A = this chain, B = another copy of it.
Amino acid sequence: MNTVAIFGVGLIGGSFALALRKAGFSGRIIGVSSPETIRRALELSVIDEGMPAQNAAETADLIYLAQPILRIIEILPELDGWVRPDALVTDAGSTKSTIVERAGAISRCQFLGGHPMAGRERRGVEAAEADLFVGRPYVLTPSSDIELKSAQARDFIGWIEKIGAFTVILSAQEHDQIVAYTSHLPQLASTALAALLEGRSEPESGVFGPALVDSTRLALSSFDIWGDILATNRESIRVALRSYIAKLEEFSKGLESGPMQEHFRRAAKFASQLRDSS
């Protein structure tokens, strides 16, 4: 892997570039983004140069798609006309089934779907940081395990480890089902809470504790990102929402002390295990 083209030099794409560099990657890092982002990415030494999509795709060994999901889906068929046969195309989209399905359009080189489970509140290249992936899972979603054995894939996986992440291998569908519960549901739970309070509660009265501020932090998330996630993982999200609603129905029916104590116990158990493992 000598030349990497990062499509979408935002938080994830920019951090991947910085992380590669910090891990000792000495090849070329090309950015494909808006002129304004390329300018900032060059100023911040996140990339070595900017290029139009086609030139970058024709040049790179690794094509790293870190754009919004629908933009990734859009560009996949175009890429097939440009890529080198020995290149690897991968992506960092937060949902995988639709992307992996649409990546069938890539026949001239290998495609391997991925999802680094890392993030921050701030977005954009300015928020990029070399340590973003350290200690974090990096999900890969091959259609078959053979996809992990090619020279390109092994090289890429080597870099994932060098930047401090650990790989988790899942099918695209498994991934989407899990993140529906662990990422998309928490987002919607927070958005629902804040949307419910909007209009009916007056923040200026101040009658709320620090808990509400915490609980509505995710509600600040931009629909630019979430619109694409909801559109490409609708079924799994609906299943997760239905089981969350069922749990809340249980609460609402039996606010009695015995059952609620057990819910609190299980919830606290999960929350502490999560902290031990993160």
A interface, CB within 8 angstroms of B: 117-120, 136-137, 139, 166, 168, 170, 175, 178-179, 181-183, 185-201, 203-223, 226-227, 230-231, 234, 237-238, 241-245, 247-249, 251-252, 255, 257, 260-261, 263-278
Contact = CB atoms under 8 A, between A and B. Distances in A.
Contact of A237 (B185, B243, B255, B275): B255
Nearest to A258: B227
A254 to B, nearest CB: 10
A245 B249 contact: yes
A267 B190 contact: yes
B252 A198 contact: no
A206 B241 contact: no
Nearest to A261: B223
Nearest to A228: B257
A198 B248 contact: no
A207 B175 contact: yes
Copies of this chain present: 2
28 contacts: A137-B205, A137-B207, A168-B206, A178-B201, A179-B207, A181-B197, A182-B201, A182-B207, A183-B208, A185-B193, A187-B211, A189-B215, A192-B244, A192-B263, A194-B270, A195-B264, A196-B243, A196-B244, A196-B247, A198-B267, A213-B275, A216-B274, A219-B267, A219-B271, A221-B264, A221-B268, A223-B261, A244-B248
A195 to B, nearest CB: 4
Contacts of A191: 251, 263-264, 267
A270 B182 contact: no
Given A217-B214, A264-B221, A206 B166 contact: yes
Contacts of A196: 181, 243-244, 247
Given A192-B251, A271-B216, A264 B181 contact: no
A249 B249 CA distance: 12
Contact of A181 (B139, B187, B201, B248): B201
Contact of A198 (B168, B198, B215, B266): B266
Given A168-B207, A191-B251, 7 more contacts: A117-B207, A186-B212, A194-B271, A195-B247, A223-B260, A226-B260, A241-B248
A237 B193 CA distance: 14
Contacts of A249: 245
B203 A274 contact: yes
